Amino acid sequence: MAISNQESGFRTQEFVLNMGPQHPSTHGVYRAILTMDGEYVVDVENVVGYLHRGMEKIAEDRTYTQFIPYTDRMDYLAGILNNWGFVMTVEKAMGIEVPERAEYIRVITGELQRIASHLVMVASMALDLNGYTPWMYAFYDREKILDLFEMICGSRLTTSFMRVGGVPNDIPEGFIPKLEKFLAELPGRADDFDNVITGNEIFVGRTKGVGVLDAEAALSFGLTGPNLRASGVNFDLRKAQPYSVYDRFDFEVPLGENGDSFDRYNLRMLEIRQSARIIRQALDTIPEGDIMAKVPKVLKVPKGETYCHIEGSKGLLGFYLVSDGGTKPYRLHLHSPSFVNLGAYPKMAKGTVLQDAIASLASIDIVLGEVDR
């Protein structure tokens, strides 16, 4: 580390700086103990657990259906994707075949949720770099998605939309025209974001080459999702092991080149467009039919272990379910992408100045509800 003071014979001391747990840029209640040498970050220690609610233990005392509302509260920016991961695990364990129409509705709402989640990332990253305007613009678009969710799920944030065997509500009247309108507007809005954020010299200057993580390092930290793809590793579960009906849609997996904060941001912008493409195709080909499979009223999962994961908005979202044959899980482990991704933060932040450390943290896109669960 180059510290000019020491070269001129001036001695400086390291000091400890607590970032968080109530710091606005930590996106919740995350705390990083930074050891600083002047403006430079020498060491970072992650401190998590402030939002721990014991979800895994709660699951042991809830029936399978009753646990669905709790999954909303893990990654609260992508409730539907959490619901999906959980019900898919139970469906896999019970061997339930989900009706096609339900799968399509899941894809449409799931991809909408992915767009909403990425919009928050884009917005909050701009906000962390002192850009207030894009925050407002992105939240305006997210609001439209939440309005759509309100129509179909009855809630905006804590959706509880999926059920084991399908979805509880069919597409309501007026939903599709509203969604079409949103899809028609989205490319223009995304271009607006590009003009406001991506092309902005200050933003580029503060993110390019900051928090670089090459493919090897990203893999060694076990990063998944957009953060891994930003480092140039082509791994998207929707393509690699297509679940649900993702094998029927034509979409690309955007990849980053340098694995820096800018790539991680830009990848989200590209993914928003790809998600819109998937929704477009799903809307065009959605079949008629049932939205719920024949499922017993009382769910009993056969004895055994199941692991199932989906491509969440932040990475691989996995559920490991151990059942003793009863109506409640014997053990449920939640593998949350944010928690794993946060592990790479000290490596990104070490040796950079404090401002760059903030940019790196914003680019990982953590949600503390999921880190601590």
The residues that touch another protein, with contacts defined as CB under 8 A, are 62, 65-70, 133, 137, 140, 150-155, 158, 160, 168-169, 172, 192, 195-197, 199-202, 204
Shortest CB 196 distance to another protein, Å: 4
Shortest CB 246 distance to another protein, Å: 27
Shortest CB 200 distance to another protein, Å: 5
CB atoms within 10 A of CB 206: 19
3-state secondary structure string across the chain: CCCHHHHCCCCCCCEEEEECCCCHHHCCCCEEEEEEECCEEEEEEEECCCCCCCHHHHHCCCCHHHHHHHHHCCCCCCHHHHHHHHHHHHHHHHCCCCCHHHHHHHHHHHHHHHHHHHHHHHHHHHHHCCCHHHHHHHHHHHHHHHHHHHHHCCCCCCCCCCECCECCCCCCCCHHHHHHHHHHHHHHHHHHHHHHHHCCHHHHHHHCCCCCCCHHHHHHCCCCCHHHHHCCCCCCHHHHCCCCCHHHCCCCCCCCCCCCHHHHHHHHHHHHHHHHHHHHHHHHHCCCCCCECCCCCCCCCCCEEEEEEEECCCCEEEEEEEECCCCCCCEEEEECHHHHHHCCHHHHHCCCEHHHHHHHHHHHCCCHHHHHC
Nearer to another protein, 43 or 60 (CB): 60
Nearer to another protein, 64 or 251 (CB): 64
Place of tokens 């953060």: 227
What is the torsional sign of CA 69, 70, 72, 76?
positive
Shortest CB 222 distance to another protein, Å: 32
Q: d(Cα 364, Cα 347) in Å, to the nearest integer?
A: 12
Nearer to another protein, 192 or 290 (CB): 192
Nearer to another protein, 175 or 330 (CB): 175
Shortest CB 54 distance to another protein, Å: 14
Shortest CB 102 distance to another protein, Å: 16
Nearer to another protein, 42 or 151 (CB): 151
Nearer to another protein, 157 or 215 (CB): 157
Nearer to another protein, 65 or 244 (CB): 65
Shortest CB 194 distance to another protein, Å: 9
Shortest CB 293 distance to another protein, Å: 16
Nearer to another protein, 117 or 160 (CB): 160
Q: d(Cα 32, Cα 19) in Å, to the nearest integer?
A: 5
Encoded tokens for 56: 């895994």
Shortest CB 26 distance to another protein, Å: 26
Q: d(Cα 336, Cα 369) in Å, to the nearest integer?
A: 10
Nearer to another protein, 155 or 281 (CB): 155
